[in-house]
Amino acid sequence: MFAYYLDLALRSLKRNKALTALMVLAIALGIGASMTTLTVLHVLSGDPLPGKSAQLYYPQIDPQDLKGMMPGKEPPEQLTLVDGLNLLHAARADRQALMAGGSAPIDPGKADMDPFYVETRYTTTGFFPMFDAPFLFGHAWTAADDEAKARDVVIARSLNDKLFGGADSVGRTLRMAGVDWRIVGVLDQWRPNPHFYDLTTGSYAYAEQVFLPLQTMVELRLDRNGSSDCWGNGGGGVGNILPNDDCVWLQFWVQLDTPAKAAAYRDFLVHYSQEQKALGRFQRAPNVRLRNVMQWLDYKMVVPDDVRLQAGLAFGFLLVCLVNTVGLMLAKFMRRAAELGVRRALGASRRALFAQLLIESGVVGLVGGLGGLLLAMLGLWLVRQRPSDYAALAQLDTSMLFTTFALAVCATLLAGLLPAWRACQIAPALQLKSN
């Protein structure tokens, strides 16, 4: 029966080409606008580490003085160097990494290539296994290298291609910031979005090309990016490359594989804060937070408000398009009252007529979905031309492709319910008599 109803639907749509075109256009416009904004929202609010983000946590403690203290106030979002190293050396997590962002000049040592700057990540060796960073060549430096302030680096594949033509560069020398560094590893393509582990350097479209030990950076006083927050006699800003002990400027992440370990680590942060207060370093009562990746992104409201607003407006526009489609379908189905009356007189049930008209609605939705897909691809192309940091991410993936057609068909079927029901209520005797 489905094939028969489908044939009837196609014949009906061909008979009223202008009305069919209006319905398809209304659906296509609504689907195109809504899927453009929904795809952008989907990309920006996605999980940067699927399957693992629930085990990665961002600890916060409060080392500030009493000035400006308010009940319930959030602790600083970063750590001091002293606290960062203390928590790192305590080693209470399954894995952990202390880090900061920066930039450094590279001397390629080639006559045909000028020196250039690259984004850098100053971190500890736990960074790579904790965030599942894939290696193309070599491996990370060791924990002993961290403590020895080794001049080892891991570079990104893009930099390896630029400097070494994609060859295995492990063991070769990289001249950076006036210092010779030994390359110990090359990362394969890896670019989590959003840039969750350090939102101070940018939420999207940010990727480091060089990774090196944090304590080596401190010893050499290399340039850093990102924000810092100081109190008391804390310094920072122009002329100070590294903040002092009364400034928070480092990010710290831990891996805790079970909820029990997460609860125990939170207790550890409370005990650490109490201990530091007893030593006179902390002045405030313990004020700690421990959020996993997705909770941290929600707290930081990484998805821009204008993207959420645009998505809401686009779905409002889709609703308007559906209301117009309901009117067009109602007019189309009521014009076929005589045809439907004859079918009822010949024995077709109301349920059969209702199914026939819904299949016709579904065909309109399917064609409208195809048009909406083309409009969504155009819309995403226009988004990629914008000068925003997330523009390049506006790509239609497989899940959004299926969502486009599912939304178009479901929305059109929903729009067709009332017109189909009204058309099925017409008494066949009245139609036969009038004809």
What local confidence, expressed as pLDDT, does residue 434 receive?
52
Which tops the pLDDT comparison, 157 or 40?
157
What local confidence, expressed as pLDDT, does residue 111 receive?
84
**DSSP assignments along 258-303, one per residue:** SHHHHHHHHHHHHHHHHHHHHTTS--SPP--EEEEHHHHHHHTT-S
The domain locations on the chain are: 2-45+304-434, 53-299
CA distances from 105 to 39, 142, 350, 367 (A): 37, 25, 76, 54
Q: What is the pTM of this model?
A: 0.80
Round to whole Å and give the CA distance between 117 and 122.
15
What local confidence, expressed as pLDDT, does residue 237 receive?
44
What local confidence, expressed as pLDDT, does residue 282 receive?
93
Task: Say whether pLDDT at 433 is over 60.
Answer: no
Backbone angles phi, psi at 199, to 5 degrees: -80, -5
328-369 pLDDT per residue, tens: 888 877 776 667 666 666 666 778 778 878 888 888 888 888
> How confident is the prediction for the chain on average, in pLDDT?
87
What local confidence, expressed as pLDDT, does residue 342 receive?
66
Task: Say whether pLDDT at 239 is over 50.
Answer: no
Task: Say whether pLDDT at 135 is over 60.
Answer: yes
Exposure string (b/e) for 112-138, b if CB count within 10 Å is 16 or more? eeeeeebbbbbbbbbbbebbebebbbb
Residue 424 has which token pair?
A: 């099925």
358-403 pLDDT per residue, tens: 888 888 888 888 998 999 899 888 888 887 777 777 788 788 888 8
Round to whole Å and give the CA distance between 406 and 402.
6
